[in-house]
Amino acid sequence: MIIAKNDENKRSTLWMAATIGSSVVIILIAVYLLTKLFTSNPLEGSWEDEDGSLSMTIKANGTLTVNVPELLDNEDVDVLMNYTLDRDEKTIAIHLDDDEFERLLEVSDGKYTKEMLSQSVDSVVTTFNYSVDRSCLTLTEREYGEQMIFLKK
């Protein structure tokens, strides 16, 4: 009786406004969640190999960073690469970024050779079928069927 002072028309108007407002909020949330579900990158995030020998950070802009631990003198090396994701085929093709590769060689001042860097990331420069199950990413090489399992950090 406090609301709208016993005026049924005002209470009805307030109730309708509250119902419409909450319905709009629910619809907006549903649209947002559906958009995130079907348009987001399922691989985006930081992943670490089961044995800790390799970690990847996959970004939405088509780049990923592979961290190779202990390449030389217990130093970690971050190698920036590009990838192409096909959600329909569930494949990811990882490519070397030649400019970034040359930049790493220049920055290292001769510590690393081109062969050392290529061998360290050679296992991920190919096309993989991917499968994501909660916090576990499985990359299966398309040609030979070798699997790499990553856990979400």
What does the DSSP assignment read for the chain?
--GGGG-HHHHHHHHHHHHHHHHHHHHHHHHHHHHHHHHS-TT-EEEEETTSS-EEEE-TTSEEEEEEEEEETTEEEEEEEEEEEETTTTEEEEEE-HHHHHHHHHHTTTSS-HHHHHHHHGGGSSEEEEEEETTEEEEEETTT--EEEEEE-
Per-residue pLDDT tens over the stretch 62-80: 899 988 776 656 667 788 8
Mean pLDDT of all residues in 15-27: 96
pLDDT > 70 fraction of the chain, expressed in percent and rounded: 93
Query: Is the same domain home to 50 and 24?
Result: no
Compute the average pLDDT of residues 91-104: 87
Both 14 and 88 in one domain: the answer is no
Co-location of 59 and 95 in the same domain: yes
**pLDDT recorded at residue 1:** 44
**Residues 67 and 14 placed together within one structural domain of the fold:** no
Query: In this structure, are 128 and 65 located in the same domain?
Result: yes
Same domain, 24 and 66: no
Q: What is the mean pLDDT of the chain?
A: 86
Same domain, 73 and 92: yes
Number of structural domains found in the chain: 2
Query: Do 9 and 49 lie in a common domain?
Result: no
Coil/strand/helix, residue 90: coil
pLDDT reading at 96 higher than 80: yes
Question: Stretch 38-54: mean pLDDT, rounded?
Answer: 85
Given pLDDT bands bounded at 50, 70 and 90, which one contains residue 8? Answer: confident
* CATH number of the domain where residue 68 is located: 2.40.128.280
Identify which has the larger pLDDT, 46 or 143. 46
In this structure, are residues 116 and 68 in contact, taking their beta carbons and an 8 Å threshold? no
| Domain that includes residue 61, residue range | 45-152
Are 81 and 110 within one domain?
Answer: yes
Distance CA 72, CA 109 (A): 13
**Are 60 and 18 in the same domain?**
no
Verify that 115 and 146 share a domain, yes or no.
Answer: yes
Same domain, 76 and 16: no
